[in-house]
Amino acid sequence: MSTDYSPLLESYRFENGISLKNRVVMAPMTNFSSNEDGTVSGPELQYYARRSKGAGLVITACVYVTRGGKGFAGEFGADRDELIPSLRELAEAIKGAGAKAVLQIFHGGRQCPPELLPDGQTVSAGNVPAELPRGGHGPVPRALSEEEITGIIADFGAATRRAIEAGFDGVEIHGANGYLLQQFFSPHSNTREDRWGGSLEKRLTFPLAVLREVKHAVKEHASSPFLVGYRFSPEEPETPGITMAETFALIDALKEEGLDYLHVSQQDLWSKPHRGTDDSRPRIEQIVDRAGDGVPVIGVGSLYKADDALKSLETGISLVALGRPLLIDPDWVQKVAEGRAADIKTELDPSAQAELVIPDPLWGALIHTPGWMPIKA
């Protein structure tokens, strides 16, 4: 008896009226392949177009909203109006292939490589360096001043305006993966004692101010429905660090402000919580419960096979995001639609770069970073 994958192919309509052709989202993934001036490169445009034929929604790699927040070599930008034509090319490449296009906007904070910054100085909520996965610490950041904080908030609004003018269907605020918004929310990195830090409520001030500024830009500049989403990481390993209880407080606060979706950043969709809840169910189920009917949730995390993605809908998520699976097999959605789910590739073929339309810098990173990607022997 064949499996019915039709739930993945059902259309989805957001509250604001924007409709997707299916429930599959291309997750935002850094690709290291943009031009030095912050414009989108030709190989990048081809890479996105190749993957936009199947997914209902494509969320781009993160773009820096200010030059001091550039987090990656080969990252494209949205920090000045001169980049709008380049952004428009990207929006048209995605939408022309049949998907809705969302621009992920971000500031790397203390995670930025100093050599990419105009003054070589990383910044954050406080002067606490990041704890590195393999031990040790990152560079010591400088605590942002009040004036700088309000400037960065305005930068998120300006980047949103540029996304609107470029023809995107929405923006996603990147509040996950240890970047600046998470640094303000985290008790590990935010040691401030002013209105931007201290209590849980004060640590929420910056993320909520960014959301308000983005929504204000949409109200001022968008003449048609425009999505505003927020991506977050549900817990931190550091002590002190963000717990599930604090994650629930973040969800409550974001819901109260109002937004179009929440996007949960996890390596494994089914991961279990560590602290801050007595509920042993996977984090994603608890997050969906907390979000309630008021805001849809996008789930992501190692869903390589169609069966994995189908099962993920049982958690209550509205949309399934695929990152690495769409790098490995850009025809993932089409194969499901054509009844060929068994043909989906789940390991990267080292000889298939041209067929997969993956730019050289990203290809090099995929092939030479152990553990990032299942690679075909």
What is the average pLDDT across 274-302?
97
Question: 151 near 158, Cβ under 8 Å?
Answer: no
Question: 141 near 127, Cβ under 8 Å?
Answer: yes
Take residue 203 and report the two structure tokens written for it. Answer: 């640590």
Which residues are within 8 A (CB) of 276 and not within 5 positions of it... i.e. 6 or more apart? Answer: 235, 243, 244, 245, 246, 247, 248
In this structure, of 23-27, 290-294, 343-347, 352-356, the range with the lowest mean pLDDT score is 290-294
- In one-letter notation, the amino acid at residue 91 is A
pLDDT over threshold 80, residue 338: yes
What is the chain's percent helix, strand, coil content, to nearest 5?
40, 15, 45
Hey, which residues are catalytic here? Answer: 179
Question: 328 near 346, Cβ under 8 Å?
Answer: yes
E strands, the chain, are 12-13, 19-20, 24-26, 57-64, 100-106, 123-124, 142-143, 170-175, 227-232, 261-264, 297-300, 319-322
pLDDT over threshold 80, residue 31: yes
Residue whose structure tokens are 């048609």: 224
Residue whose structure tokens are 């717990």: 243
pLDDT over threshold 80, residue 3: yes
Report residue 294's pLDDT band, with 50, 70 and 90 as the boundaries: confident
What is the average pLDDT across 56-72?
98
Take residue 23 and report the two structure tokens written for it. Answer: 């429930």
What is the average pLDDT across 211-233?
98
Name the pairing type of β-strands 12-13 and 19-20.
antiparallel
Share of the chain above pLDDT 90, in %: 98
What is the average pLDDT across 248-261?
98
The total of other beta-carbon atoms located within 10 Å of residue 353's CB is 17
What is the average pLDDT across 288-314?
97
What is the average pLDDT across 128-145?
95
pLDDT of res. 173: 99
Residue whose structure tokens are 């402000």: 257
pLDDT of res. 346: 97
Q: What is the pTM of this model?
A: 0.98
Share of the chain above pLDDT 70, in %: 100
Question: Residues of 67-77 as b/e, b for ≥16 C-beta within 10 angstroms?
Answer: ebbbbbebbbb
User: What integer best gives the mean pLDDT of the chain?
Assistant: 97
- In CATH terms, the fold of domain 6-368 is TIM Barrel (3.20.20)
pLDDT of res. 58: 98
pLDDT of res. 1: 66
